[in-house]
Amino acid sequence: MLGVLHDPASDEKSKAWAAEKAAPFVHPKPAPAQRLVKIELPATDTAEGVSAALGKLIQAVATGDLAPSEAQSVAALIEAQRKAIETNDVLARLDALEEAQRRPGGPKLVA
């Protein structure tokens, strides 16, 4: 394409075609600004709340209130919250097992 643009023997139609094809790479368009998304979600501090929030998010996409890409961004935040809840739950269960193991007569875990 650039050869056509720089070749003095190229006709104007060929140069116009080459310029049109090269333009997006020479002058790329900036990414569009993200739209702020406002949606009422239930509290997400429990696993049940996370599930309810995802359900509400799916409903918003189904009714056209949110674009799928917008919902995907919000769902990623909800998923991060779910992982935090899961991690805290696992840590609490592990602490309880370790405490039970320390007590006299408590279960002995075998490695």
Task: Mark whether 64 and 108 lie in a shared domain.
Answer: yes
Residue 42 and residue 24 share a domain = no
Rounded to two decimals, what is the model's pTM?
0.63
Residues 83 and 101 in one domain: yes
Residue by residue, pLDDT tens for the chain (111 residues) are 668 778 888 888 888 888 888 877 776 777 788 888 899 999 999 999 999 999 999 999 999 999 999 999 999 999 999 999 999 999 999 999 999 988 888 777 776
44 with 6, same domain: the answer is: no
46 and 23 within one domain: no
Q: Are residues 59 and 108 in the same domain?
A: yes
* C-alpha–C-alpha distance, residues 103 and 107, integer Å: 8
User: 50 and 22, same structural domain?
Assistant: no
Q: How far apart are CA 76 and CA 57, in angstroms?
A: 11
23 and 47 part of one domain: no
Quote the domain boundaries for residue 96: 38-111
